[in-house]
Copies of this chain bind each other. A is one copy, B any other.
Amino acid sequence: MFETVAIVGPGLIGGSMGMALRTRGLARHVVGIGRRRKSLSNALEVGAIDAATLDVAEGVQEAELVVLATPIGTFAALMAEIAPAMKPGAVLTDVASTKTEVVETISACLQDRPDIIYVPAHPMAGSERRGPLAANEDLFEGAVCIITPLADTYPEDKSRVTDMWEALGCRVVSMTPQGHDRAVARISHVPHLSAAALINSLEEADMRVCGSGLIDTTRVASGPPSVWLDICLTNRKEIAEALENYITELQELVEALESNNVDRLREALRTAKERRDGLRARGEPRRERT
């Protein structure tokens, strides 16, 4: 599928991509680009990449596909090095969890490189762990990958990125960057903040008697704060709005409890179960949860 792929940031997501591209024979050569020697040597060791370099320009120059898999906050600075170094007509993708601001930032950095094909993507997979040692070649198996192609992208170029994600096991869905950010605020960002708020509202003594419900419900709150801060800051408006809706839903439960409104409580619990069971029926990700 690709001769050479460059992965900028071969951590959990980038490293899992590298592993899957290699073991599935989708890339002949995977170059990992990072800032820390230790992290790159871990990525080499687990088989996420074939070669490693600290030099961004050198790392991307031979690649037909460059994957930007670092935290969002690093994109502008990295793109200043990546954009001039990329091969003519090469494909660029990113795996960021927010899209509107990210697409603007990256597109601006590509102004002098109209030949580069940029197809933004967001694989909805991950875990609260990070780094190449958490990488897993089946991470994307059964997951959804949202792509947010630019208006002027040719269908065949879109297909190159779509085909790759499908080959990694994803179901690919296409949205606008704005539609993505609105949906993902509800699907991913509010769940994260709800878990963070849940754990922050516990008292110290509670921590000693928690059960499996709390453990599962708050798992995502162990995710890296710096990554989640970037997500919050680049999708503030949509997250705030979705959080407000969530709070309204919770306030209705408080009212139902206070007024002893049995029917309303029963209905909320019943609807939630029905919808959650529906989620499962559509297939929970098959990979092992870490």
Contacts and interface: CB of A to CB of B under 8 A. Distances in A.
Interface in A19-37: none
Interface string A250-290: 11011001101010011011111101111110101101010
Contact of A206 (B183, B280, B284): B183
A99 interface: no
Nearest to A123: B211
Interface stretch (A1-9, A159-167, A190-198): A190-198
Given A216-B216, A229-B265, A232-B265, A222 B273 contact: yes
Contacts of A223: 273
A176 interface: no
A18 to B, nearest CB: 20
* Copies of this chain assembled into the complex: 2
Contact of A125 (B128, B211, B272, B287): B211
A115 interface: no
A212 to B, nearest CB: 5
B213 A220 contact: yes
B199 A276 contact: yes
A278 B207 contact: yes
A216 to B, nearest CB: 5
Interface of A: 124-128, 143-144, 146, 173, 183, 186-188, 190-203, 205-225, 228-229, 232-233, 236, 239-240, 242-251, 253-254, 257-258, 260, 262, 265-266, 268-273, 275-280, 282, 284-285, 287, 289
Nearest to A228: B269
Contacts of A188: 211, 213-214
A212 B243 contact: no
A247 B258 CA distance: 15
A204 to B, nearest CB: 9
A160 to B, nearest CB: 22
A207 B275 contact: yes
B282 A208 contact: yes
